[in-house]
Amino acid sequence: MEVRALEILIMRRNRKDYILAFLLSLSNNEVKGRYELSKELGIGEGVLRGIYQELREGGLITVGKGGTRLTPKGLEELEKMLSVNGIIHAVFLNDFEVWGRKYIGVAAALRRNVKNVVEARDAAVRSGAHIALIAKREADRIFLPMVEEYDLLQNAPQLYSVLASLPPAESYAVVLGDNLLPCVKGLIELAKQE
């Protein structure tokens, strides 16, 4: 089986993850071309064309000279998809620097309180993410469970800022990697954990 055919087969099996990652990558109200989206998502342009066609026909995106843009209907669908997975709100992170390295990924406010931080982190990493962090908020303080004394504001100010911008939630997650698709898969798996 040729590589492209295998990629299309995998995409059909994980269609919702691909669509969620695609919509999330456009959620910052940016206009992006096919090459940039392909690189961010970590998928081939052939598979991307199939997603483009489906989302355009559904009125979720518009495609113009400058590239692709999310429509209000697309944003509404993104919020629905997040909600079904126990996610209150998610933010796409591109060129996100933390601890001396740049990543792509997602930060999210979760509906569920993640109690087993290690299990949740491992679920995200098994999905292909490089880093998965669970955070909590108490009063004015955002912290990482199990290392509460670690000063996020002092040691990772960009990370702290992103977490502080999210709406109130039971738990927060930041999932980072080289491409968005494994990060979205990791976030969905992490959000399922107790």
| Residues 173 and 108: beta-carbon distance below 8 Å | yes
- Select from 137, 147, 74, 143 the least CA-distant residue to 110: 137
CA distance 122 to 169: 21
CA distance 96 to 93: 6
Instruction: Give the pLDDT confidence score for residue 184 in this predicted structure.
Output: 94
Instruction: Give the pLDDT confidence score for residue 191 in this predicted structure.
Output: 92
Instruction: Please report, for the chain, the start and end positions of each structural domain, with discontinuous segments joined by +.
Output: 3-77, 85-192
CATH class, domain 85-192, is alpha beta
Q: Do domains 3-77 and 85-192 have the same CATH topology?
A: no
DSSP symbols for 91-156: EEEEEEEETTEEEEEEEEEESS----HHHHHHHHHHTT-SEEEEEEEETTEEE-TT-TTS-HHHH-
One digit per residue, the tens of pLDDT, for the chain of length 194 reads: 444 444 444 445 567 888 999 999 999 888 898 888 889 888 887 788 888 888 999 999 998 888 899 999 999 999 999 999 999 999 999 999 888 899 999 999 999 999 999 999 999 999 999 999 999 998 888 989 888 888 888 888 999 999 999 999 999 999 999 999 999 999 999 998 87
> Which tokens belong to 188?
């969905």
Mapping DSSP to helix (H, G, I), strand (E, B) and coil, where does residue 79 land?
helix
Cα 30 off chain centre by: 16
Give the alpha-carbon dihedral of 148, 82, 14, 131, to 10 degrees.
-20
Instruction: Give the pLDDT confidence score for residue 8 in this predicted structure.
Output: 44
Instruction: Give the pLDDT confidence score for residue 68 in this predicted structure.
Output: 92
Mapping DSSP to helix (H, G, I), strand (E, B) and coil, where does residue 104 land?
strand
CA distance 17 to 5: 18
CATH class, domain 3-77, is mainly alpha
Report pTM: 0.88
Residue the block writes with tokens 């997650």: 173
Cα 43 off chain centre by: 15
